Amino acid sequence: MKDGHTQVTIGKVEGAYRFKNRGVVVKLVGLTKPPVVVEVSGSALPALGEAGFENAANGWKVDKNTGIVWIKLRDSMSQQVLSVR
């Protein structure tokens, strides 16, 4: 984390096998404050509540009890960069 900005890079898929409609869930622990915006490769993901997060393919939420940030997105099979600010 630098200047309140966390970046996570998800590498591209390797090999010949391709998953169909695979999702990715990222768990971020230890952030000093809740994010204002979460982006994947420059596109903002929606901030969601608990019920919305469980049913969504893309989005993020903060667990109010633990401060853990949960992010869901579809796997694009190519490199994706998550930015959390």
Question: d(Cα 20, Cα 30) in Å, to the nearest integer?
Answer: 32
CA–CA gap between residue 63 and residue 76 (Å, rounded): 26
Instruction: Return the pLDDT at 7.
Output: 95
Contact by Cβ (8 Å): 72, 59: yes
- Residue 25 clears pLDDT 70, i.e. is over it: yes
Residue 59 predicted with pLDDT over 60: yes
pLDDT at 3: 66
Parse the chain into domains and list their residue ranges: 6-10+21-84
Residue with token string 């903060």: 62
Q: What is the pLDDT of residue 2?
A: 57
Q: Which CATH superfamily is domain 6-10+21-84 in?
A: Golgi alpha-mannosidase II (2.60.40.1180)
